Amino acid sequence: MAAAAAAALLVSTVGQAGAASPTLRSLAEAKGIYFGTALTQGNLSNSTLTAVAGTQFDMVTPGNEMKWDTTEPSNGTYNFGPGDQIVAFATAHGMRVRGHNLVWHSQLPSWVTSLPTSQVQGAMEAHITTEATHYKGQVYAWDVVNEPFNDDGSLRQDVFYNAMGSGYIADALRTAHAADPNAKLYLNDYNIEGTGAKSNAMYSLVQSLKAQGVPIDGVGFESHFILGQVPSTMQANMQRFAALGVNVAVTELDDRIQLPASSANLAQQATDYATVVKDCLAVSGCVGVSQWGVGDADSWIPSAFSGYGAATMYDNNYQPKPAYTATATALGSGSTAPPTTAPPTTTPPTTTPPTTAPPTTGAAGSCKVANAVNAWNNGLTENITLTNTGSSTVNGWSLGFTLAAGQTITSGWNAAYTPSTGAVTATNLSYNGTLAPGGSTAIGFQATHTGNASAPTAYTLNGVACSIG
């Protein structure tokens, strides 16, 4: 396609999302985050696709070009040409690059999987060092270890784990940091977007790595969703990771629909995309969102999930869908100050609630609590949604509840908790102290237990009993 024709198409594409409307990248940057996409080497020859990619997005993740089977197909022989092409496109369009990835159980050449156990660590360290050094200064962040967990929260028993145990993850992070000290280092996985066994395992791993002084800067939430199934706990889950002192990012977003997609499906998809963006914007330390692919025509979904597709913001002709408009609206609306791109340096602040007395919330029943507990072995997380069902705004809140015997809070998010056992009071932080009538806020905590993982049976908001449900 001639350059003039491509430019005309791009004007048409953007125009359908709103005449002279700002791009996703400019809207995201105004909020202090990025909005990215994934590209493969083959995509670069499609001028329609690249016109949209180069205009709408400000971060690029290579789909396959930096994975082990491409970059080191045989032991000690490296091929960085495909990855270099992605980097060159990004540079030409003022985009940054998320390196993806250095260590993964999949897309490994056979020489790696057939190595004697005693040689795996040396091969892994050499691969990380060589690739991270090659792209030093050109990559914003690396997915250092990709998809380390099974869905039940156990570590995958791949070639790296079998040779080195769980310590391979810390070793990989340290090796990457030594090769490129300025790159942000991530762990990346799917099905960790909401709270559950897998996200709890990732949380515990990050907590352990931080305690050991291992260089880790972020956690990537892949976010390969099925229509209508964005977890309600996603925001609170991201916040608890950010409270550990790491960034979080949505790294591979798509939202697959059983084909053919109806107008109702596309409307739900728009809601799903907007929800993800709003969740990120609400979390201090969420640095950005990346869609996996540019449009439905280059999405991986149809080839991986039979009967599903239409998973992105752009259709097969790279025209914007309702999800595009909803995403742009989510990025451009709201009065909340944009989140900082730097991770918190401490655990959640123990912000003192306002000293002025909050308006009375009325009689019992003017607040409602919904709670959900996920327990394992001797640990649990509880996610609490607090809703003001009264007619007056609450300015500054304290939520009281009593933990079951044997439970001790070890960390929390979106509130300050004191004490850690027995009768606990959770008080608002600086950004969520106001609850308008009908308004709600999501808080939560992680705790240990000695066998009783049940949730509290009663809650009070500023001393007034709340209903539960």
At residue 111, φ and ψ (nearest 5 deg) are: -65, -25
At residue 351, φ and ψ (nearest 5 deg) are: -65, 130
pLDDT higher than threshold 80 for residue 341 = no
The secondary structure of residue 71, as a DSSP letter, is H
Name the residue type at position 184. Answer: K
Q: Is-contact 213 173, C-beta < 8 A?
A: no
The secondary structure of residue 353, as a DSSP letter, is P
Tens digit of pLDDT for each residue in 202-219?
999 999 999 999 999 999
313 or 347: whose pLDDT is higher? 313
Tens digit of pLDDT for each residue in 148-161?
999 999 999 999 99
Tens digit of pLDDT for each residue in 74-116?
999 999 999 999 999 999 999 999 999 999 999 999 999 999 9
Least confidently predicted of 40-44, 303-307, 348-352, 428-432: 348-352
Mean pLDDT of the chain: 88
Tokens of 201: 């395992």
415 or 55: whose pLDDT is higher? 55
The catalytic residues are 147, 252
Which ranges of 287-439 does DSSP label H, i.e. alpha helix? 301-304, 322-332
The secondary structure of residue 372, as a DSSP letter, is E
pLDDT higher than threshold 50 for residue 357 = no
The secondary structure of residue 154, as a DSSP letter, is P
How far is the C-alpha of 43 from the C-alpha of 46, rounded, in Å? Answer: 6
pTM of the complete model: 0.70
- For tokens 């559950």, the residue is 196
Q: What is the pLDDT of residue 338?
A: 32
Looking at the DSSP bridge assignments, the partners of residue 408 are 448
